[in-house]
Amino acid sequence: MENHPTPTPSPFTGIFKNGLIAGAALFLTSFGSLYAAIHLKPDLFVNYINPIFNSDGSRDLYFYLHPFVLSFALAILWNRFRRFLPGGLIIKGIEFGMVYSLVALIPVMWITYSAIDVDFIMVSTWLLYGFCQATLCGVVFAFLDEW
């Protein structure tokens, strides 16, 4: 009888699993915090009553899929760089969120603010929101690594 080694699982299996779990956590947290923020700080959301942000509904699915698209992209980043993140779950998550914010969000927010007529406060809230999303994904990924 031949001895066949068991195949090594693809790293994409872990990326897919992590992305799916983090995407679900991000979806629930994002929409929960959105509804809470609208009720706690409604004056901040008055700026969104603008033709730039109103959709006819044909692209709503893209909006609802965003947490999963982001979490899969962040899962790939996590898979590559997690070994450089020391500390516990929260510290890893915060550092991951900071790295993502510095590398991706700040340049995008910079060009958005310079090219589109939006308030600095609005762009700042997007930056904070993106940092929180990446931090949450980092915490979820760190938890899944230890679990």
- Tens of pLDDT along 53-66? 766 788 889 989 99
Q: What is the pLDDT of residue 2?
A: 66
Ramachandran bin of 86, using left for φ above 0, alpha for ψ from -120 to 50, beta for the remaining angles: beta
Three-class secondary structure of residue 119 per DSSP: coil
**Predicted TM-score of the model (pTM):** 0.86
Confidence at residue 120, expressed as pLDDT on a 0 to 100 scale: 93
Is residue 3 over pLDDT 80? Answer: no
Distances from the Cα of 82 to the Cαs of 22, 23, 42, 69, 99, in angstroms? 15, 18, 38, 19, 12
What value does the mean pLDDT of the chain take?
91
pLDDT at 1 over 60: no
Give the C-alpha separation, 119 to 131, whole Å: 19
Model pLDDT, residue 23: 98
Instruction: Encode pLDDT of 103-141 as tens digits.
Output: 999 999 999 999 988 889 999 999 999 999 999 999 999
Query: Taking the domains of the chain in order of start, what are their residue ranges?
Result: 11-146
